[in-house]
Amino acid sequence: MRTMTSTLAMIVAAAFLPTPGAAQQSNLAVQEWEVPWERSRPRDPFVAPDGKVWFVGQVGNYIANLDPRSGEFTRFEIDSGTNPHNQIVDQAGMVWFAGNRNGMIGRLDPTTGAITRYPMPDNSVGDPHTLVFDGKGHIWFTAQQAGHAGRLATATGKIDLIRVDADRSRPYGISIDSRGRPWFCEFGTNRLAMIDPATLKLVEYTLPEGARPRRIAITSDDAIWYVDYARGYLGRLDPASRRVDEWTSPAGPLALPYAMTVDDQDRLWYVETGVKPNRMVAFDSRTRQFTVQQPVGDAAANTIRHMVFHAPTRMIWYGSDLNTIGRVPVPARAVQLVP
């Protein structure tokens, strides 16, 4: 049921702080809206076809949207104890969300407020984590603590589960390549994994010792990019050769790179959460150069956990632990930072 609306002023944030030894570039116009429900951990925004930005309140147990044109927030209540971790919106405007504490995927109809629930077929898989569409009528997802990945057929509600056998595999960030294959991080190990949609066979790829991949993005050449949260690297896997290349994140071993996305020019964007305030970094996958380094947010307590690039408006959207929803405009061509 829809229970609350609010209009808030937009907060404009973040002056540029250059990296030592690097040339300065023009500011990106970071904008943030304060969410009206305190300490609710708003996260994982997704831009719907009508332009509204949907997100979940992981602590607050709600689904909500922001209309960036008016600044209005609208909230929908969900089951207590859901602790939604992620949500995505289909072309019909239905909002699909991961029940991270109650073992189900939900579908919210914003017109009526009705929720359809799709419980996991195995009670031991209680923590659906991150959802992604494959463009073929399925939602693929990870379940971190349960050590599984899965597939939900949106037309029938059938769920297939795929066990990830590695000890403490912790399946986390997930993305789909051009062939409709889901790739995901095994955050508890130094592995990436792919599932063959035809057979549901799991194929794993080993990364350097000590790597802990957390989020993942795929460029137009189907190269698999990841952020290494433990060692402070950006990495690239060539699936055909299994070759792995790595680049040290600008903030070094303590960068704690986390939220990640890719734009329409094959630039990787991610957030260094070990830097306070968090810092947005861009890497051009074609020139193999870091091109943007800019703070986002304005406090030491901030963490940006997930973000998405919206191509029609050329905006990256994110949620933060500072109880904000924010966006960063993506320039057509970034100004290169020269060491």
Q: Which helix (H) or strand (E) holds 128?
A: strand 128-133
Among 219, 254, 217, CA closest to 233 = 254
pLDDT one-digit tens code per residue, 304-316: 999 999 999 999 9
Q: What pLDDT does 127 receive?
A: 97
Furthest-apart CA atoms within the chain: distance in Å:
56
Instruction: Give residue 292's pLDDT.
Output: 84
pLDDT in tens, 281-306: 999 999 999 988 888 877 777 899 99
- Residue closest to 76 by CA, chosen among 65, 87, 89: 65
The whole-number average pLDDT for the span 195-205 is 98
What is the reported pLDDT for 300? Answer: 72
Per-residue pLDDT, averaged over 6-31, amounts to: 43
Does residue 185 surpass a pLDDT of 90? yes
Lookup result for tokens 């229970």: 3
Nearest-angstrom CA–CA distance, 17 and 134? 38
pLDDT confidence band for 261 (50 / 70 / 90): very high
Q: What pLDDT score was predicted for residue 251?
A: 95
Q: Can you give the pLDDT at residue 333? A: 66
Whole-number average pLDDT of the chain: 90
21 pLDDT more than 50: no
